[in-house]
Amino acid sequence: MTSKQWEKGVTLPLRTFGPVTLTDIVRYQGASGDMNPMHHDDALARSAGYPEAFGVGMLNAGYLATFCTDLFGTETVRRFRTRFKGLVWRGEVLHAAGQVRELHTRGDLTDVEIDFTLTTQDGRLVVEGDAEFAIPSEIAVTAGKD
Amino acid sequence: MPIEWGKIREYAVATGSNDPDYLQNPNAPIPPTFLSTVVFWDQPGRGMQTPEAIAALAEIDAGQGTDIRNVLSVEQEYRFHGPLPRAGERLVLTHRFDGVELKEGRRGGHMVFSRFAVEFRDADRSLRAECLYTSARTSKAATEESRS
């Protein structure tokens, strides 16, 4: 991806995660330290009116983070924001999508602002957010220069 | 909070990454949401236990209790300053209260939105990262709404 030219309005290549399993959920919970039982205890989730335990919002955010680091590199993140809009159920396949909103060049580095979403295979919104990555200016195309 | 390579590898794999920058570099940079693992070292909600936060909550008469089933995470944001933290570094934590807000639910009941942050500083006390949290505590009626 290092030869990629980033410019305003560019659509990021789609990426798929899942289907999400209970193993994926408990592995993330163990890694992150968020052991909220609503994500793996079906009986507790049912007692609160849910059909079963549901996925972890920060795992969904983490998939979007991987979507981004695979595109922009692991050393470039400056800001990463996710809003949790919907629940994920076991077995669901998740689609990461995004677009470049703006670029700001400052010398050798260009800040790329992107908007992204994570949706289920049925098109239901799970997470939306935005982020900023500082990438080498030689792989960015600033507005008007194209 | 020590930034540990093993924890970075575990976290990267758990979030679907197999990037060698995480898996093969003993001084790996942290993934964008890695600082959520702060819970192994401190309670990120300590910003909500400050006198300022307690007074603000009392003023809007939150009173929804502490049932974990009624607490929703609404948003998380990570901001980085200077070089991205890497394995081998040690960061010092401070807590911040960013405000509370009462919102009416669409079908009765109400939600209390709480905003708080954890700040991560290095040995020179330079701010290297912030994690901004927004959580909502629902009353029973609002919980019914969120289920539909």
DSSP assignments along chain B, one per residue: -B--HHHHHHHHHHTT---HHHHT-TTPBPPTTGGGGGGGTS-GGGGGGSHHHHHHHHHTT------GGGEEEEEEEEEE-SSPPBTT-B-EEEEEEEEEEEEE-BTB-EEEEEEEEEEEE-TT--EEEEEEEEEEEE-HHHHHHHH-
Interface of chain A against chain B, CB under 8 Å? 17, 24, 27-28, 30-34, 36, 38, 44, 47-50, 57-59, 61-63, 65-66, 68-70, 73-75, 77-84, 131
Three-state DSSP string of chain A: CCCCCEECCCECCCEEECCCCHHHHHHHHHHHCCCCHHHCCHHHHHHCCCCCCCCCHHHHHHHHHHHHHHHHCCCCEEEEEEEECCCCCCCCCEEEEEEEEEEEEECCEEEEEEEEEEEECCCCEEEEEEEEEEEEHHHEECCCCC
The residue in chain A having the minimum alpha-carbon distance to the alpha carbon of residue B77 is A81
The C-alpha atoms of residue A89 and residue A115 are separated, in whole angstroms, by: 24
- What is the reported pTM? 0.91
**In the predicted model, what is the mean pLDDT of residues A81-110?**
96
pLDDT cut 90: percent of chain B above it: 64
Least confidently predicted of A12-21, A34-43, A134-143: A134-143
Which whole number is the average pLDDT over B88-111?
88
To the nearest whole percent, how much of chain B has pLDDT over 70?
Answer: 84
* Rounded average pLDDT over A3-18: 88
Find the mean pLDDT for residues A43-61: 96
Mean per-residue pLDDT of chain A: 93
Among chain A residues, the shortest Cα distance to B32 is held by A65
- The ipTM (two decimal places) reads 0.94
Q: Residue B32: which of A44, A47, A80 has the nearest Cβ? A: A80
Q: Which residue of A has its CA nearest to B37?
A: A32
Nearest CA to B86 among B21, B42, B17?
Answer: B21
Quick one: average pLDDT of A89-113?
96
Looking at residues A87-103, what average pLDDT do you find? 97
Interface test with B, best of A80, A111, A114 (most B CBs within 10 A): A80
Q: Does B76 touch chain A (CB under 8 A)?
A: yes
- Token readout for B48 is 């909500």
CA-nearest of B106, B118, B35, B64 to A34 is B35
What average pLDDT score do residues B62-66 get?
Answer: 55
Chain A residues within 8 A of B39 when measuring between CB atoms: 32-34
pLDDT of A139 over the 90 cut: no
How many angstroms separate the CA atoms of A5 and A1, rounded? 9
> Has residue A21 got a pLDDT over 80?
yes
- To the nearest whole Å, the CA of B136 is away from the closest chain A CA by 11
Is the pLDDT at B113 greater than 80? The verdict is: yes
Q: Which of B31-45, B77-91, B105-119 has the lowest mean pLDDT?
A: B105-119
CA distances from A132 to A76, A129, B103, B108 (A): 8, 11, 30, 38
Look at residue A66 and tell me whether its pLDDT is greater than 50: yes
Average pLDDT over residues A56-69: 98
| pLDDT beyond 80 at A131 | yes
Q: Are B26 and B87 in contact (CB under 8 A)?
A: yes
pLDDT above 60 (res A145)? no
Least confident of A79-83, B51-55, B130-134: B51-55
Residue B3, pLDDT > 90, answer yes
**pLDDT value of residue B139:** 65
